[in-house]
């Protein structure tokens, strides 16, 4: 009888483990989000714009951190010394970002499905606030390795013109995780 009770207890534990969310496959959005969690830390590098813009071109510092128990990533740049956050999070079955721009608008973008886990590409969905002087229309993050990544920001300007800003970033010494591809273990 005692063995029967032990077996029943084991069967209950096993069935509970099978029902846990960790046992379910991760969505494409969650896989990409986990990759981006590997960017947590401080990054320094340069910005190059096309067409060239001397007010933007030059050195830059980017910080990325997980917040709200790992459910959101806060990506911050500080043009002119004022922090400008971009929030990235999984919303249902898609990876979403909202960029809080110094221009006073908040574009929302959604990630595309990617065959390359080291590339996360976001496309424009909609905009809150004014469209002028500019708003973020596209963002591509490419993980070169655990200590190097690039960010390609495309802004829409009046008259359907665009400004492309490329950030070439290296991890600041001793800053954050060292994993660029993520396996879901970061919070």
pLDDT attached to residue 177: 64
Please write the tens of the pLDDT for every residue from 38-81. Answer: 999 999 999 999 999 998 999 999 999 999 999 999 999 987 77
Backbone angles phi, psi at 112, to 5 degrees: -80, 160
Mean pLDDT of 82-107: 95
Mean of pLDDT values over 132-152:
97
Q: What pLDDT, on the 0 to 100 scale, is given for residue 84?
A: 92
Question: Is a pLDDT exceeding 60 seen at residue 182?
Answer: no
Q: What is the pLDDT, as a whole number, of residue 18?
A: 47
Report how far Cα 114 is from the mean position of its chain's Cα atoms. 14
25, 134 Cβ separation under 8 angstroms: no
pTM of the model: 0.80
Instruction: Write the pLDDT tens digit of every residue in 4-28.
Output: 545 545 444 445 444 445 567 889 9
β 72-77/84-91 pair status? antiparallel
Identify the pLDDT of residue 22: 56
- We find that the CATH architecture of domain 26-171 is Beta Barrel (2.40)
- pLDDT category, 94, cuts 50, 70, 90? very high
Q: In sequence order, what E strands does 40-184 have?
A: 41-50, 58-67, 72-77, 84-91, 94-99, 106-111, 119-128, 135-145, 148-156, 162-171
CB-based contacts of 117, cutoff 8 Å, min separation 6: 31, 32, 35, 181
- At 146-171, the pLDDT tens digits run 999 999 999 999 999 999 999 999 99
Give, in order, the Cα–Cα distances in Å from 182 to each of 46, 69, 113, 118, 152.
Answer: 25, 17, 16, 10, 21
Q: Where do the H-state alpha helices sit in the chain?
A: 2-19, 28-37
Question: How would you label 33-71 residue by residue, b for 16+ Cβ within 10 Å and e otherwise?
Answer: bbbbbbbbbbbebebebeeeeeeeeeebebbbebeeeee
């Amino acid at each position: 009888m005692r063995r029967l009770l032990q077996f029943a207890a084991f069967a209950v534990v096993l069935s509970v483990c099978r029902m846990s969310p960790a046992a379910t496959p991760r969505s494409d959005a969650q896989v990409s989000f986990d990759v981006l969690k590997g960017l947590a830390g401080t990054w320094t590098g340069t910005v190059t714009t096309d067409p060239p813009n001397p007010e933007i071109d030059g050195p830059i510092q980017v910080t990325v951190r997980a917040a709200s128990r790992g459910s959101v990533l806060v990506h911050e740049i500080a043009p002119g010394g004022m922090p400008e956050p971009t929030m990235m999070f999984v919303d249902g079955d898609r990876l979403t970002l909202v960029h809080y721009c110094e221009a006073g608008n908040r574009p929302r973008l959604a990630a595309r499905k990617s065959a390359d886990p080291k590339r996360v590409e976001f496309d424009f969905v909609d905009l809150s606030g004014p469209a002028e002087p500019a708003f973020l229309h596209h963002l591509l993050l490419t993980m070169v390795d655990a200590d190097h990544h690039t960010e390609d920001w495309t802004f829409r300007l009046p008259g359907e013109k665009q400004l492309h800003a490329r950030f070439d970033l290296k991890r600041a010494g001793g800053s954050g995780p060292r994993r660029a591809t993520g396996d879901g273990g970061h919070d």
